[in-house]
Amino acid sequence: MAVASPPMAVPQGRPSGRARAALPSKGIRTMAFTERHIDGVVILDLNGQLTELSGNEMWERIRELAAAGGRQILLNLAEVAYVDSSGLGTMVASFVAMKCVGGALKLFNPTRRTRQLLAVTALTTVLQSFDSEALALASFTAAAE
């Protein structure tokens, strides 16, 4: 039997430490994502480039999931060809948002380039990353024990 968690505040805006140029909001899509649910874990399969524009779409979906009670989110990065600094910022903001509501956001299947980017920026100390979906899913079970 599932027990409902008390409502918690979900950060509303994506944090930004610098001014950003306005980007067109129509016609440009650098990433697509599909959503799957396995044993209470939401898996977002990302495909394309994780940039400011696509990151905003992902951020909004993660915020919606958190507001609806989602507490375990996995990002599948296998098909992410490019991540820029805004994309990294979105991953960190999403991680923090999930932490604020008592949840967790983890990564799996990062490409070699994404893995290097996470290492160079020292984000491997913050964002848990796994080589497979099975290991990532198992990490939620292990954390609950």
Percent residues over pLDDT 70 in the chain: 78
pTM for the predicted model, two decimal places? 0.79
Name the percent of the chain lying above pLDDT 90: 70
pLDDT tens track for 16-30: 333 333 333 444 557
Strand 31-38 with 129-130, pairing? unpaired
List, run by run, the mean pLDDT of 10-residue segments along the chain (145 residues). Answer: 40 40 44 93 96 89 94 97 94 95 97 95 96 96 71
Q: How many CB atoms lie within 10 A of CB 66?
A: 24
pLDDT of residue 78: 97
Report the CATH number of the 31-144 domain.
Answer: 3.30.750.24
Angle between helices 52-67 and 85-100 (to 10 degrees): 10
Amino acid at 121: T
- The secondary structure of residue 14, as a DSSP letter, is -
Confidence at residue 30, expressed as pLDDT on a 0 to 100 scale: 74
Burial of 56 (0-12, 13-18, 19+ CB in 10 A): middle
